[in-house]
Amino acid sequence: MTPHDYADLFLQAALAQKKAITKRKRADWARRSSSPQQPDKSLPFSNRSPLQRRGDVYESLAQHHLQRAGCLVLGRQLHCPAGELDLVVREGAALVFVEVRQRTSARFGGASASVTSDKQRRILRAARWFLNALVQQHFDGITPYCRIDVLAFEPAGLIWHRDAFRLTLDK
């Protein structure tokens, strides 16, 4: 065989490997995201980065705050191909998707301002991804009023932005 033949074989092998990896990832996402699920608790806490662990702490604080306010937690850290939802709660008859943000400084606008338009789009895509399953599971198939809240842990304290931006079903 010539070096050119080997190059073709390596290219074909690389393409086949890439195709197999993509197929495996799609199957894994479909399996994990077919219904809202909690994160895999079998993974030890030490597998999380320091930033993720800090986020976990603030999500727990937010969860406790929401529960004290009368909300029922339906899900936490729901992952899908579109992104992640920090918390999903039921407040009365409303389905609420909650984004938890924390900043130690008010520089650059603080935690509230860190929910950029790109972040809003990711949250909206993730909310749409889980909406049908959440409605079937917790609202007997009847789509409730939905809203997206932001719980911002600012240096001055916790700020709860109710209905921070809108979830629409037209896109």
pTM here? Answer: 0.71
pLDDT exceeds cutoff 90 at 1: no
CB 136 within 8 A of CB 87: no
Residue 28 has a pLDDT of 67
Residue 29 has a pLDDT of 64
Residue 31 has a pLDDT of 61
Residue 150 has a pLDDT of 96
pLDDT exceeds cutoff 80 at 3: no
CB 90 within 8 A of CB 96: yes
Average pLDDT, the chain: 84
Give the contacts of 122 (CB within 8 A, at least 6 positions apart): 82, 83
What letter would DSSP give residue 155?
Answer: T
Which residue type does 120 have?
Answer: Q
The share of the chain scoring above pLDDT 70, in percent, equals 81
Residue 42 has a pLDDT of 44
DSSP secondary structure of 59-111: HHHHHHHHHHTTPEEEEEEEEETTEEEEEEEEETTEEEEEEEEE-S--GGGHH
> Which of 70, 68, 81, 99 lies closest to 34, judged by CA?
81
CB 112 within 8 A of CB 154: yes
Of 37 and 114, which is predicted with more confidence? 114
